[in-house]
Structure 1
């Protein structure tokens, strides 16, 4: 009886290990597009804006998809590089010319009641740089707020998606 139980435990252990390995492989593969996009965006940002130290990377999709890299150049100037996914020309700005992600979050929290902030990203909407703040609404669903990067004003709001 002991031998049968030991064999069952070995089979169960093998299945458990195999399941853990398969879940790990699936998770690793699912994150691959993000890693690849970030890697390419960082490389391009180094070439076009001299970014030497990357602080943040954002994947932003509204009218178009943008990969946005925030970092400092070799003169320690904080820069933002907006890279359109379609390969059109990059837009380069200084961070000091606009508000930070924390300031964008504060603007949303000051204007609206939300359960919690889920995500913040930086991109271009209607040819203007914006912060997208995604929050859980009080009622249900998600609320999306686009905050103008330069002025900090609300540009667009989509409620309870």
Structure 2
């Protein structure tokens, strides 16, 4: 009888130790993940503050970070009850606000990219300034596993350039 009790006690301790180790691993993974996304979350938060203050934008429902040649952040928002994109140059802080109905939407550009290049997946799609014009840049992984970038004119949706097989 005493032997069974010792065995049960030992098993209970091993279970507690195992649960403790699992708990430590779960908490550690959550902390690492939180640290990994913190710069992205801070960038978004800072961009929303700039867009609210300098562009009078609110109701943010999209955020994209474009780092092709210069770094830009784009927010989808509303201003005076109209849907807009707020494009912020990260280095200079210059803010451009464009009405969504004056150009091509992100979803329309993504549809064009999927139809034309049939990528494995799209990595990023965001607005940036190029020669004083807004362009959509779409980064994707092609079927052959190589990277590609397509740039589209914001106003017309016309393909401006494509880089493939990187």
* Kept after mapping to 2: 8 A contact 1:98/1:149: yes
| Alpha-carbon offset, residue 31 of structure 1 | 0.9
The answer on 1:21 being equivalent to 2:27 is yes
The answer on 1:12 being equivalent to 2:14 is no
* Kept after mapping to 2: 8 A contact 1:104/1:147: yes
* Kept after mapping to 2: 8 A contact 1:129/1:148: yes
| Alpha-carbon offset, residue 88 of structure 1 | 3.8
Q: Which residue, out of 49, 53, 70, partners 1:47?
A: 53
Distance 1:49 1:12, change over 3 A: same
CA distance in 1, matches of 2:149, 2:74: 18
* Kept after mapping to 2: 8 A contact 1:132/1:144: yes
Q: Which residue, out of 85, 89, 93, partners 2:94?
A: 89
**Structure 2 gap ranges (5+):** 1-6
* Kept after mapping to 1: 8 A contact 2:137/2:149: yes
Report the TM-score when normalising by structure 2.
0.86
CA distance in 2, matches of 1:68, 1:149: 13
1:131-146 → structure 2 map (5 Å cutoff): 131-146=136-151
1:119-130 → structure 2 map (5 Å cutoff): 119-130=124-135
The answer on 1:160 being equivalent to 2:162 is no
Root mean square deviation of aligned Cα: 1.8
Q: In the TM superposition, what whole-angstrom CA distance separates every residue of 1:57-106 from its partner, at most 9, and x where no partner exists?
A: 11110111011112111x21122211111134212221112101111012
Q: In the TM superposition, what whole-angstrom CA distance separates every residue of 1:6-33 from its partner, at most 9, and x where no partner exists?
A: 2111111101100100110111111111
- 1:71 matched to which residue of 2? 77
Report the TM-score when normalising by structure 1.
0.88
| Alpha-carbon offset, residue 126 of structure 1 | 4.2
Count residues with an aligned counterpart: 160
* Kept after mapping to 2: 8 A contact 1:63/1:125: no
CA distance in 2, matches of 1:97, 1:160: 32
| Alpha-carbon offset, residue 159 of structure 1 | 1.9
- 1:106 matched to which residue of 2? 111
Highest CA radius of gyration, 1 or 2?
2
